[in-house]
Chains A and B, each alone.
Chain A
Amino acid sequence: MNANTNSQPERKIKMQKKSFFNSGREDSPFKRILIHATLWIACLISIYPITRILSVALRPGNRLLSADLAIIPIGATLESFRIVFFEKPFLSWIWNSLTITVATAIIGVILAATSAYAFSRYKFPGRSVGLIFLLTTQMIPAVMLLVPIYILAIKLGLVGTYRGLVVAYAVTAIPFSIWILKGYYDTIPIDLEEAARIDGCSELQAFMKILLPLSTPALAIVFLFNFTTAWNDYLLARIMLGSKEDLLTWPLGLQRLQGQFVTQWGQFSAASILVAIPVMILFLYTSKYLISGLTLGSVKG
C-alpha cells in the first residue's frame, strides 16, 4: 500500500510499469476479440447521442424531430452552422466565455496551489477543520445561494461585469482543487524541499522551484477543473451577466436561441456542437495527465 514512499526515479518506473494484465499479448484471440468488441460497443453508446445532435444541426428546416435516423440526414446542409457563425453573435459568446474561463482557471490554479501547499506542508491549528469544511462546501445545494449572492453582488456593484463572475468561479472550484493538490503534494517527499532550504532557498522559492514543477499533472487537473466549471456554468452567469447582451457567455447565448414557443433547433444544435468541440479537445489533450495525476494524489489517502 505504500508503494509511493519511494524516491522519485523509482516512482517514475512504477508509473510506466504495465499492469498485471500484461498477459494482453498472451490472451487468446477469442478473448481479445471479445474485449475489443465490448469496447467498441461502449464507444458507440458513448458517442451516439452526440452524433444525433449533429444530425439535427445538419438537417434542413428547423426540425428537432424526424423519423430519419441517419447521422448525415437527407439534404444535409451547413446552413445552421453558417447562421450561427455569421448571423448570431456566437463568436462573441465563445470569446466571452473563453476570456472568463481562462482568467478563472489561472486565478483558480494559483489560489489552490498556494492554499494546498499550506495544508500539505504545515501543521497549524484548524487544519483538519479546514479540510472538512472544504468537503462540506461541496454539499450545499447551490440553489440556496443564488439569491443572496445576487443581492450581495448588486450591493457591491458587481452585476454586469466580469469581476465578480471570475472570482466566483475560481473560489467555487477551490475546495475540490485543494483536496486534489494537497493529496498530490502529500505524495512528494518533503526531503527535496528541505534540501533546497538548507541550500539557502526561502520557503517560497522551494515551493516554486521544487514542488510546483513536480506537480504538473495535478496542476493540469486543477486547471481543467476550473476551466470546465467556468465554461459550462449557466446559473451564476445568468444572475451576474443576464442583462448585458454584449457580455454573454455561451450558455446564456444558447438560451437566447430558445423562444417561448419556437426554438431554432437547427441553430441550437449547431451551436451546441461548436461549443462542445473546444472542451472535448482540451479534455482529450489533458486526459493523459488526468490519469496519472488523479491516482498518485489520492493513493496516500
Chain B
Amino acid sequence: MTKKFMPVFTMILVLAFILTACATPTAAPVATEAPAADATEAPVATEAAPEPVTIVLWTKEGEADGGLQYVQGLADAFTALYPNVTFEVVNKEVETLREDFQTSSLAGDPPSLLWTVSDHAGPFTTAGLIQPVDELFDMSKYVESVVMNGSTWAVPISSGNHLMLLYNKSMVPTPPATTDEFVEVAKSLTSGDVYGFAYNQTEPFFANPWLGGFGGSVFAEDGVTPTLNTPEMVATMQFLYDIKYATPIMPLESDYNGADTLFKEGKAAMLINGDWSLAGYKEALGDNFGVAPMPEVSSTGMMPAPMTSGVYFMIPVDLAGAELDAVKMFVEFVTNLENQTSMVTTLARLPGSIEALSIDAITSDPILKASSEAMTYGTPMPTVIEMRCVWDSWKPEMISMLASASGTTPEDAAANMQAAAETCIGQLE
C-alpha cells in the first residue's frame, strides 16, 4: 500500500528534448510506412522473394499451451524459405493485446500483423484500425470469418473455441443426451466432496450455450439490439439457479480454475469447458476423458448453441508496400494445408481452412472428432462492439443471482441486464 504500484506520473527522458534536437530519434524497429495510395494494387504473392522486411507479429498465443512456440516455429520456417523476411514475435495476453494495439495505433506505431481472437475485430473495425482482407486473399477457402459492414476483416487460422460437455468416463460411462438425464446423473454422483458437475459460474460465456438451448439469443435479427429481457433468458437463468440450489449438483463457488481443478482431481464428474482445454484434460485423465456436445434441453428439445469464434489474422489499416506483401505471403503460408495439419496435431485445434477440416488427423482422433461434431451445433460469436456490452451486463447479474439462494431473481436479473446493456450501448458513441 505504501507506494503505489504504478508510478504517480510517468516521465520520459528529460534531456531527450534537448538531445533529440541533435540526434535522430531511433524509431521503433518497424515503422509503418506512409500509406501508399495504390496499396491495393499489390500483386498476389508469387514465389518471388520479397524485399527485406521485419514483420512485427503480435500473438495472443502463450507458452503455457505450446502456442507461442508453434508460432515462433512457423516464423522460423518462413524465414528459412525467404531469408529476407525476419520476424519479431511478441506474445501479449488477450486484453493486453487489444489495449496495446489501440494505444499504439493512436500513437502511430502499430505492429505489422496480429494473431488474435476474433472478437477483437469488433473494436478494431469500429475504430478503423484494421483493413479488410477481401481483396488480399481468397476468402472462399476459409470457414466463415468476420464479416461486418459488407467486408471481411480477418483471416481464420483456427476455429472453435466452443464449449462442450466434458466428462470423466470412470464416473459417467455414457454422456447424458438431455438435460433431465444430465441432472439425474449428476445428482446421483454428488456426495461428500465429489460433485456431479462443475463449471465456471463467473463468466456468462459459460452460460450462453444454454440460452441457445432455450431458444433465445443475445441479439435481435439486426445483430446489434440486445434481447436479454426475454422469457428464454429467464428460463436459462432459472435453469442455472436450479442446478445450483434446487437440485444441487455443483459446488457453491467455482470459477474457471476451481472447476478445472475439481475435474482434474476427479472431484467433478462433468465439466463444461472449451476446445482449448482438451489437451490438458487428455493428459490428466487419459482414457477416462470423454467429450460430447452439451445435452439437449429437455423442455424445448433444442440443442444448446455454444458460441464459436476463432483465432484470426488481422492486418493494421496503414500497412502497405513491401511489408504488406510479406505479410500476405506469411498468412498464406500459415494457412496452407501442410501447416494447418501440423497445427491440428500440435495444438489440437480445429483449422480455419476448409480443406483442412477433413484431414485424417481430425477424423481419426475421437476427441477431435467429438469436438468437431460439437462445433456443428455452434453459432458464430458476434464480433460487434455491442457484444462487449452484453457480456459486461450479463456477468454481474449472473453472479449476483448465483451468489446466494436468495440472490437476484432470474426475472430481475434479465431485466437488469437489458437495462445495463442498453445504457452501455448508448454510451458507445
Contact = CB atoms under 8 A, between A and B. Distances in A.
Q: Do chains A and B touch in the complex (CB under 8 A)?
A: yes
Given A145-B9, A235-B6, A242 B64 contact: no
A293 interface: no
Interface stretch (B19-27, B330-338, B410-418): B19-27
A119 interface: no
A256 B62 contact: yes
Given A168-B12, A242-B92, A259-B64, A156 B25 contact: yes
Interface in B83-137: 88-94, 96, 100, 103-104, 106-109, 111, 117
Interface stretch (A20-28, A47-55, A136-144, A198-206): A136-144
Contacts, number: 173
Contact of B90 (A159, A173, A233, A245): A245
A171 B6 contact: no
Nearest to A67: B193
Q: For this complex, into which size category does the number of interface residues on chain A fall?
A: 35 or more
B176 to A, nearest CB: 25
A261 B13 contact: no
Nearest to B262: A65
Contact of B7 (A61, A139, A169): A169
Interface in B339-371: none
B406 interface: no
Interface in B33-81: 56, 58, 60, 62-65, 67
Contacts of B63: 88, 256-257, 259, 264
Q: For this complex, into which size category does the number of interface residues on chain B fall?
A: 35 or more
B20 A157 contact: yes
Interface string A48-78: 0000000000000101111100000000000
A158 B258 CA distance: 42
A263 B265 CA distance: 17
A272 interface: no
A298 B25 CA distance: 43
Contact of B8 (A140, A161, A257, A258): A140
Given A157-B27, A256-B91, A66 B13 contact: no
Contacts of B10: 142, 145-146, 149, 168, 172, 236, 239
Nearest to A149: B10
Contact of B12 (A143, A153, A255): A153
A172 B109 contact: no
B60 A260 contact: yes
B107 A150 contact: yes
A170 interface: yes
A263 B13 contact: no
A176 B2 CA distance: 11
Contacts of A110: none
B257 interface: yes
A99 to B, nearest CB: 17
B11 interface: yes
Given A154-B108, A242-B100, A262-B277, A161 B261 contact: no
A229 B3 contact: yes
A183 interface: no
B201 to A, nearest CB: 15
Contact of A159 (B5, B65, B109): B109
A59 to B, nearest CB: 11
A225 B265 CA distance: 44
A238 interface: yes
B195 to A, nearest CB: 13
A142 to B, nearest CB: 4
A168 B11 contact: yes
A161 B23 CA distance: 15
A257 B64 contact: yes
Contacts of B29: 160
A147 interface: yes
A3 B264 CA distance: 65
B407 to A, nearest CB: 24
Contacts of B89: 245
B231 interface: no
A245 B16 CA distance: 24
Residue among A172, A225, A257, A258 with max Cβ neighbours from chain B (10 Å) = A172
Contacts of A260: 60, 62, 93-94, 117, 276
A24 to B, nearest CB: 29
B428 interface: no
Residue among B9, B65, B90, B276 with max Cβ neighbours from chain A (10 Å) = B9
A172 B14 contact: no
A232 interface: yes
Interface in B227-264: 256-258, 261, 264
Nearest to B15: A167
A259 B62 contact: yes
Contact of B65 (A66, A245, A262): A262
A153 B20 CA distance: 12
Contacts of B111: 243
Contact of B13 (A61, A142, A156, A175): A156
B244 to A, nearest CB: 19
Contact of B280 (A149, A169, A170, A262): A262
A284 to B, nearest CB: 16
A233 B7 contact: yes
A163 B13 contact: yes
Contact of B16 (A61, A163, A262): A163
Contact of B11 (A61, A155, A170): A170
B28 A160 contact: yes
A152 interface: yes
A203 to B, nearest CB: 23
A151 B107 contact: yes
Given A243-B88, A245-B88, 6 more contacts: A142-B10, A146-B103, A157-B27, A172-B10, A172-B11, A235-B6
Interface of A: 61, 63-67, 88, 137-140, 142-143, 145-147, 149-161, 163-164, 167-173, 175-176, 225, 228-229, 232-236, 238-239, 242-243, 245, 255-265
26 contacts: A61-B264, A64-B261, A65-B258, A66-B261, A66-B265, A137-B9, A142-B4, A147-B103, A147-B106, A149-B11, A149-B12, A154-B109, A157-B26, A157-B27, A157-B28, A168-B10, A169-B7, A172-B7, A176-B3, A236-B7, A239-B100, A242-B92, A242-B100, A243-B90, A257-B63, A262-B276
Sort A-B residue pairs by CB-CB distance and give the 3 closest, nearest first: A157-B25, A172-B7, A171-B11
